[in-house]
Structure formats: C-alpha cells, structure tokens
Homo-oligomer: A and B are copies of this chain.
Amino acid sequence: MQQSLLELRHLKTLLALAETGSVSQAAKRVFLTQSALSHQLKALEEHYGLPLFERKTQPLRFTPAGERLLTLAREVGARMAAAERDITRLREGEAGELRIAVECHTCFDWLMPAMDAFRRHWPAVELDIVSGFHADPVGLLLTRRADLAITSEAEPLDGISYQPLFAYDMVVIMANDHPLAGKAVWQAEDFVTETLIQYPVPDAMLDLLCKVLKPAGINPARRTSELTIAIIQLVASRRGVAALPYWAVQPYLDKGYVASARIGADGLQSELYAALRSDDAALGYMQDFLDTVREQSFATLPGLSVLA
C-alpha cells in the first residue's frame, strides 16, 4: 500500500554522499548532476517527513535518520554485489586467471586493498602481479604474459580495450623551509634550479617532464629512488623536489614532514586506465576486479576524481 519511494538509486546516492561529503562531489561519483541529487534528497526528506542531513556544514553531516538509511545502503549494497557475483559465477564458472602488469610505482598503494577484497570474492581466480616494471605493459597483454595492465594513457590498439579507473592530481612536494614553500602554485620556471627526485623510469612516463617542463624548455637535474618513502625523505632533507600523486603524499603533508604545491594554474591531472584484451572484457571476474579497484580506491585514497 504505502509506496516505498526508496530505490536503489537513492541508496547509491547516500553511499556516494557519505564518501565524498558533498552533494556536488557525490553527483560526479554516480554520474549525475548536482541538481538531480538535490531533487532526490528533497524527495526522500519529504517522503519521510524528516531531515536526513545537515547541509550547512562541510562535509555535510547525516542526521540519525540519514545514518539509518546509510546503514541500510551498506547492507543492501554488499548483498546486491554478492548476489550478482554469485550469478556471474553460475554463468561463467569459478575459476580464471588474472595476471596484472603495473608500470607505476605508487600503484601498489591502491592495488593492494583492491586485490585483497578481490581475493575474498573470487577465491578460485589465480591472482598474480607480473613482477618487475615494464616499459610496455600492454605488450604483455598481447603476448599473453599478463591479462590486465595498468596504464596512464589509453593509446588505441587493436585487440586491446581500455577502461577508465580514476583521475588524480599530481603535486610538487618540497622541504618545509624551501624558499617557495608558501607558494600555492608552482609554474614551470620554478623548477629551473631544482633537482627533481623521481622513480627510475623512462622520461616518457613522467608527466611533469613531458607536459610541463619540456614544453617550457626546462631540464632540471635528476636523482632517482625506488621507494616513495625514500623520495619523501630526500625532499624533506632538501635534496630536491618531487612530483607525486596527492593521495600518495597526503599522509606526510598532514604530519607536516613536507610542504606541497599545485603544478600549473589548473594543476597537473593524471589518469589511470586498465588495459585488457578485448576478448576478456566481458569476463565477470575481470569487470568485478575493475569495479573493486574503483570502489576501494575511492574509499581509501583522498582527492580522487572520476574518469569517464
């Protein structure tokens, strides 16, 4: 009799809202406009005759009623996902192989929790990381030495299909007492006299170099290190500056170990894609892995943005 109004789309909205803390951000997360979500929330609140959020605050807070619905959303979301996985397994079988090739050092930060969750959901799928870093991870797909490659560019290639994961900002980090430490935005010229501390990878894989410094004719001194934490230490010790994903350095910024700045007026955006053989794109566990990556990453890492 009493129509329930509450639909899955509302629950998804609530989850996005809880994760992002703002209507506009949540809207991006569920691929709708801010207006659409505003209407949704208004409808919900009118239906229940109760406020579900306090809007004036940033991040917005849930009222007890909102919290209750959020709990429901988590319960229902998890069960829906589990059921759909089970159905997929009924159709395609339990087993499979998923060997992942990675070209980016920092990727392990988000890959680990995702792989962890995935292993629980698909115990019979053999999950591997193709060891070492490869200049051409997509090549490994075609030679069938890997089934999935993480790349920062979606270069069209026959038999390869790309799926967006997420986007994020690169920031430059510097010692706290660096002369430019107060500057909110660094331009290319600010790097002229600096030593750039980087992972030991080809120049082509360094966005800062390709997209910002080279176009400005700047070629700073370099120094390499394998480990993120080591790079941070070098920066803090005034051995140079580094460009890293915001989500990789945010904990160190919070603790005040180093300072950071945006790169260029609009920031330096980086993107991540998953590349796979087109034949494999329909595999249930493959899609589920990508969904898991997105979900876990957005839940774990700060400052991510969605990538259409």
Contact = CB atoms under 8 A, between A and B. Distances in A.
Interface stretch (A75-83, A151-159, A191-199, A204-212): A75-83
A72 B71 CA distance: 17
A105 to B, nearest CB: 26
A265 interface: no
Nearest to A287: B2
B91 A68 contact: no
A80 B6 CA distance: 9
Q: Quick one: copies of this chain in the complex? A: 2
A48 interface: yes
A52 to B, nearest CB: 9
Contacts of A8: 4, 6-8
B163 A1 contact: yes
A83 B90 contact: no
A163 B2 CA distance: 11
Contacts of A271: none
A289 to B, nearest CB: 11
Interface string A43-59: 00000111000000000
Given A1-B163, A8-B4, A65 B80 contact: no
Interface string A81-114: 0011011001100000000000000000000000
- The residue among A1, A80, A83 with the most chain B CB atoms within 10 A of its own CB is A83
A54 B175 CA distance: 69
